[in-house]
Amino acid sequence: MKGIYVLIILVDKNIDVNVGALGKISFKKGLYAYVGSAQNNLEKRVKRHFKKHKRSFWHIDYLLLKTHVKIVKVFYKDAGKAEECRVAEELNRKGAPITGFGSSDCKCKSHLIRIKDYWFLKESMEEMNS
Ligand SMILES: [Zn+2]
């Protein structure tokens, strides 16, 4: 399977995270959505996000390696990179973007957005059972 995915991430207390080149970012307790794509082996990419022992490579790795941070839901869709950024931009409008996060390679404000809820994603994406 290939496509794009959205990780719904719960941060259960306020934390500061050193996110590589982005530096220290303060995350408020709450829900976040992270948009990514895997144009081959989507399942393997998503599984990697759940691993608590790995070297940090993407911005998202720095956040997900923290205690008090966990993935609570995954949505996916068979689509290309352009759709990844379209979904990210929609989320940027709906929530509070963490500027520059996950968007080093594109023009989006961010690919990680603090959101109030995520059920609206059900209208356009599939839920992944994990
Ligand atoms: Zn983008």
**16: which DSSP letter?**
E
pTM: 0.95
Mean pLDDT over residues 15-41, rounded?
A: 96
Q: How far is the CA of 107 from the centre of ligand 1 (A)?
A: 6
Q: How far is the CA of 111 from the centre of ligand 1 (A)?
A: 6
Q: How far is the CA of 4 from the centre of ligand 1 (A)?
A: 12
In the chain, how many domains are there?
1
Residue 7's domain comprises 3-128
Give, in order, the Cα–Cα distances in Å from 72 to each of 32, 40, 46, 99. Answer: 10, 23, 12, 22
Distance CA 100, CA 37 (A): 17
Q: What percent of the chain has a predicted confidence (pLDDT) above 90?
A: 93
Quick check: 130 pLDDT over 70? no
Give, in order, the Cα–Cα distances in Å from 88 to each of 36, 61, 68. Answer: 9, 18, 24
pLDDT in tens, 84-116: 999 999 999 999 999 999 999 999 999 999 999
Mean pLDDT over residues 44-59, rounded?
A: 94
